């Protein structure tokens, strides 16, 4: 069976974990656990995986397209070859759910919690998908570590409370790193779902740092705005949320009141269920840490592919 990974040159190492090697074994562990000799397996994989959606001029998702329906360029070059293509992908989904828990969303926080709970319950497949839940105000807090159960997500969201400033960019950087660290045994779709008004008032990280972190994690950002447009004075954060989403190949979804937030999450669910995945070998690939631009354009007029704009050609270690 062919095993592929997100992109770049992959350094695959099988070895005894450091922490385990340093920890003394109990009598029970000593009798029942045996460790194989340390071994190194080096494998080079230069395959890029792209998850994306296709929409028409009215924003409707388009299915049933084939590889020949797209023009694909990597650093302005045609890929060496396509290795995988799937529409309405059922590949595993790794999601980071980011909930703005600052003072600015306090009046809407309760129904936003409920909408996020309902979304995860509908979209998450037990045993296949993995979710981590993060809130952010002055600080970024993981309220639910990575789990494969939607019930755990619901319980954690119920405990969240709002108050404080907004560390939006810190949260995206943090979530990107969490997704990068999550082990993957096969091609996997990654996404950050952020529900916020889009205004970072803490200013520890920058917008550019947040975008770069998402690019390095090869994750899409799906931004759900909590602004009541056009009357909300915080609606100036919407362009920021749009920038985060579009630069990563994700989608910006306007929200606002309770009904609009519910609609936004239903649209997000449709987007995830209508994703394509394409994989390819870049021409003349080198794992030198450089940034590669990606252009994926439908050949049919009036269609648009929502796809991340590039990736970093870096070494990766899998344990």
3-state secondary structure (DSSP) of residue 282: coil
Residue 196 belongs to a domain with what CATH number? 3.40.50.410
Q: Tell me, yes or no, whether 278 lies in a domain.
A: no
Structure tokens at 225: 């705005």
Report the domain count for the chain. 1
Q: Which residues contact 182 (CB under 8 A, 6 or more apart)?
A: 94, 130, 132, 146
The number of CA neighbours under 13 Å toward the Cβ of 256 is 10
pLDDT tens-place string over residues 144-179: 999 999 999 989 988 888 888 999 999 999 999 999
Q: Tell me, yes or no, whether 55 lies in a domain.
A: no
Q: Tell me, yes or no, whether 198 lies in a domain.
A: yes
Q: Tell me, yes or no, whether 31 lies in a domain.
A: no
Q: Tell me, yes or no, whether 22 lies in a domain.
A: no
CA dist 233 and 255 (Å) reads 14
Q: Tell me, yes or no, whether 189 lies in a domain.
A: yes
Residue 39 has pLDDT above 50, yes or no: no
Q: Which residues contact 150 (CB under 8 A, 6 or more apart)?
A: 120, 121, 124, 126, 131
- pLDDT for 279 equals 93
CA–CA distances in Å: residue 3 to residues 43, 132, 279: 11, 25, 12
Q: Tell me, yes or no, whether 300 lies in a domain.
A: no
- Structural domain span for residue 223: 93-273
Q: Tell me, yes or no, whether 146 lies in a domain.
A: yes
pLDDT tens-place string over residues 119-152: 999 999 998 999 999 999 999 999 999 999 999 9
Q: How many percent of the chain have pLDDT more than 90?
A: 60
């Amino acid at each position: 069976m062919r095993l592929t990974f997100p992109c770049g040159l992959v350094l695959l190492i099988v070895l005894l974990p450091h922490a385990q090697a340093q920890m003394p074994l109990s009598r029970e562990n000593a009798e029942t656990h045996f460790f194989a000799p340390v071994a190194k397996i080096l494998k080079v994989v230069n395959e890029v995986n792209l998850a994306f959606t296709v929409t028409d001029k009215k924003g409707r998702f388009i299915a049933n397209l084939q590889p020949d329906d797209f023009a694909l360029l990597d650093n302005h070059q045609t890929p060496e070859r396509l290795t995988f293509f799937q529409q309405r992908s059922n590949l595993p989904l790794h999601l980071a759910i980011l909930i703005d828990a600052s003072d600015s969303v306090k009046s809407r926080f309760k129904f936003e919690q409920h909408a996020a709970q309902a979304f995860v319950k509908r979209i998450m497949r037990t045993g296949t998908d993995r979710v981590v839940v993060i809130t952010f105000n002055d600080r970024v807090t993981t309220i639910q570590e990575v789990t494969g159960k939607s019930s755990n997500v619901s319980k954690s969201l119920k405990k969240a409370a709002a108050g404080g400033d907004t560390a939006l960019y810190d949260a995206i950087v943090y979530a990107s790193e969490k997704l990068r660290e999550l082990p993957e045994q096969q091609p996997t779709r990654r996404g950050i779902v952020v529900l916020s008004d889009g205004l970072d008032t803490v200013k520890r990280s920058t917008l550019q740092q947040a975008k770069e972190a998402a690019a390095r994690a090869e994750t899409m950002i799906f931004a759900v705005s909590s602004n009541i447009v056009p009357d909300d004075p915080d609606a100036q954060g919407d362009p920021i949320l749009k920038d985060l989403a579009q630069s990563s190949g994700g989608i910006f979804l306007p929200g606002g009141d309770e009904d609009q937030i519910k609609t936004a999450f239903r649209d997000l669910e449709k987007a995830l269920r209508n994703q394509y995945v394409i994989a390819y070998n870049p021409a003349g690939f080198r794992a030198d840490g450089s940034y590669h631009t990606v252009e994926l354009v439908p050949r049919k007029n009036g269609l648009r592919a929502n796809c991340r704009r590039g990736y970093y050609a870096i070494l990766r270690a899998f344990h």
